Structure formats: structure tokens, C-alpha cells
Amino acid sequence: MASYWQKPKDREVFFDFLSSVGFLTNEDRIWSPGKDNGLTEWAEALRKEGKIFCIHLSTGYNLWFAQQWLACFSALYPRHFSKTDENASISLVEALSKLLQARLQYEGPVSSKRLALLLNRSVEEVDTALQFLEAQGVVFRGHFQKGLKESTWCHRSVLSQLHKLSRTYCRNAIQPVAIELYQRFLYQWQRLTADTKACGLEGLFAVLKMLEGYFAPLESWEKEILPSRMENYDPSWLDQLSLSGRIVWVIKNKSNRKSASFSHSSCSIAFLERAQASVFKKQPCLPIPSLALSSRAKRLYELIVEKRALFFDELLGASKAAPWEIESDLRELVGCGLVRADCVSALRHFFSKKKRLSLSLRLALSSSWGRWTAETYKLSIEKKSTPRLSETTESALSTEKKIEKLLRMLLRRYGIFFKKLLEKENVYYGLWPQLLPILRLMEMREELLAGQFIEGMGEQFALPEAITMLKKIKEEVSSPFQPSVSVFDPSSLSEIIKKPVQQ
């Protein structure tokens, strides 16, 4: 912007600039007040040649403008010019709109009061002309400067340049830190430090929302991940949240899909907020998927699909099977990711290594599981960059919503996000080409900052509050907090730190 207002090389360049800017006043910085830079001489020479004009206003401003703007100025200031057919063909609003459109391409943001003062027109006249340009999408009105309560106007091209300069400044303003310091940041961001731990039922909900969509064994969730982020963690809180419908669980079977094995080592669990989980809903598919299901498990699955949702005692009555047989079938279906219970206690029971319970205890326990349903959620996305021709617009939008939802989950979890983190998020590995356009769009909307915040990690995007926390941690002189976390913990970067990054 400032380069436009520097002294031109010669009078021809000065004339071209005056033709583009609409008008200049005697106080514009191009004149370099306090010293003779030769522009006055060029202006007088061009005025004598009839190429430019100058009028003196009662406000004390001198307006210089090129011949091509003569019709506009004649409409605005008829007393200074003789009437011609050309002058009568343009209205005051049209003349003012054209001049302001030209001027705002080189100046802004600026208030309507300032423009009215320069042109010696009323604020109402200037606002009318600017609103006409606003309706055409040429200029925008808003609060573009911090601390300024008055709304200002800015040309769309100038606003685009300001956004670009702002992004460049933000990218260069932060010096990259070592990955070890980012590890310290994650401990605090993910609430592992003593002063950031959550407490109570609502605290657990906040932690699960931060770790939404992260897969880990249930045993790790309940013995390591959640207790390390909570004050006096109680597993019953997880049951309350799932039974109340505030969260749902998703299972990922790592075993061979030809078998329905279900164990601590083969299955990982993730949690979703139900209010947002509809984006990932996967409707049950019939006929039965070609898995190695027993005939009894297939019949139970068909029953659940048909009835949509059934309690355990309803499954007993409808299937006419023994309780331990239904448990075995449900265990098989859960292992294949085909059914889901309301309460997490069902998974806890399936993972348990306790001896077989009596019938009365079995029925009492199963009644706390809530309903069984075939409504499952699929967090994985097909790794492709462009939709197929056969895909409808609706399905394309659905995929875009799912990608954006996943991205926001990852940003909440890590604060600063980069490609290497997808290796830790195994189910999302390979999605970087689909995430990158949305990340850049969020940066343009000023929701994210982009730059090199962590050494050697390529292109990175961060939430503004994450950068604030990172700077604070960098300035701390106390000894770093080093909690003992397992490889299943989402805060662990052991694999990234040990493995060199290929540029």
C-alpha cells in the first residue's frame, strides 16, 4: 500500500497514478510535506497542458484530478465548471461512487467522515455512494482496526492485501521451537499438569471432548489416559455420560476382519460427543456383511437391525436364547463393529477376565448396559482427493463436513497441527491432502495461524490460544514437567521425537 504513495519516477508515471487514484489532495503523503520533491512542478506543467485540473474547496483542500474524471467532478462541483451535455449525463451518486471506488483502491480502511471531509460533501451523500458500491461487492464495511469503534470502509483488493500481509506477519512473528518443547506444551494443553487437571462429571466431559475421536484400548482409557487428566477419576462418571446420551463410543478392530476376535490387544475405543456424532453416522447395511459370523450371531444382528434398539431382557425374549449365548453373540458383533450399547460398562464386561457370573448377577449387570443398536459411527474417510463423477453433490458435501469435523477434533486435541501427527492418529493417516485445503481456508478466515512453530515439522497450523500458551511455556524458567505416559496416550510424541523427519 505504501509503495503506491511514493514519489513517481517521472511526470508520466505521476499522470498515470493520478488517472487511476481518482483524485489527490494537497495533504496526501505523495507530496512529501516540508520538502520540494518536484511533483508541484510536474502538476503545474500537466495542468497547463490541460491533462489535469485543480479545484480549491472551502475546507482548505486542493483537489487534483486527471481529465478523464472531469465529468464526475463537474457533477459534484457544477459551480467550478461550465455545463455541458457530458456533465448532465452522470448523476451525483454515480459520480461520487466512481471517484470513491478509484480512491479506495489505494487507501483504506477509511471512514465515511474522512472521505466526506476530503470531498467537502455530506456524510449522508458519501454513505449512499459507499452503500451502492457495497451492494456490488466492491467495498466492505467493518471494524478492521483494533481499538477503533467507528466502522470503516475498505476496497476488496486492499482487504485481500491486508489479510495477506497479516498472515505473513503472523507466520514470521513466531520463532520455531524444538519438538521437545512442543511435547511440554502438549502436557499442559491436554491437561496432564497438576494445575490443569479436570474434576467431576463435567470435567470428564471436557476431557473426552478434547480427546474426541482418539483410539486407544479401553484399559488404557480407564487406567492411564483419563486418570492422568482427572482429579480422583471415577469410572462411574464414564457410565453416566454414556447412559445419558452425551457421549457415544466407537470401536476399531485391529484384527483380521475374517474373524471376530475381541480382546484388549485387538480392539481400540474412541469417544464422540453425541450432539456432533451425526456427521459420522453409518447406517446399518443389509444383507449381513461377509464376516466369519456364527449363524446365531447373524440372527441376533438381524433382530437388532429390525427392532432398531433393544434392551438385554428384550433380546432374551425375542431371541429365545440363553443369557450367556446372547453375551457371546454380542461380543462377536461388537468385535466386528456391527452393534453398540448405550453404556461403556458393556465393553468393560466383555474385556473383563473374571470368572463366569451366576445367572442373577449376569442379568443384573446386563440391565445396566442400556439399549443395543446397530447405529454405528465410522470415523475413517476414503483417502481420495477428488470426488468421483458418480457421487452426488449431497454426498460430496457430507464428506466435506466429515473432514472438517475430523480436522476440528484434531486441532482441539493438539493445538498445533502438522502432517506428522497423522502417523499417531492411525485411522486418519493419509488424509493430509484433504485436510490441507480446509486448513488454508480456516487460515484465511483468521480462525488459525499458519507458520513454522515447531522445528523440522513442515507446514503447520495452530489455534491462536495454542500459540499464546506455547510462548508462555517457552519463557518459563522452571524445570519442565515430565509425566510418565504410555505410548497409547495422545500426548506421547515418543515416536515422532525418535524418528527423524524427512524433508
| pLDDT tens figures, 162-216 | 877 777 776 666 788 899 899 999 999 999 998 899 999 999 999 999 999 999 9
Band of pLDDT at residue 315, cut at 50, 70 and 90: confident
b or e along 292-323 (b: 16 or more beta carbons within 10 Å of the residue's beta carbon)?
A: ebeeebbebbebbbeeeebbbeebbeebebeb
Q: What is the mean pLDDT of residues 93-103?
A: 93
Type and span of the H or E element at 453: none
Where helices occur in 155-232 by DSSP H, the ranges are: 156-173, 179-189, 200-210, 218-220
**pTM attached to this predicted model:** 0.68
What are the cell numbers at 32? 512529501
Closest CA to 124 of 148, 92, 101, 155: 92
Q: What is the mean pLDDT of residues 132-148?
A: 87
Whether residue 41 has pLDDT greater than 60 = yes
Band of pLDDT at residue 265, cut at 50, 70 and 90: low
- Residue 289 sits at φ, ψ, to 5 deg, of -55, 150
Which tens digits make up the pLDDT trace of 202-241? 999 999 999 999 999 888 998 999 999 999 999 999 999 9
Q: Could you give the domains of the chain?
A: 1-90 (1.10.10), 96-173 (1.10.10.10), 175-182+382-498 (no CATH), 198-377 (no CATH)
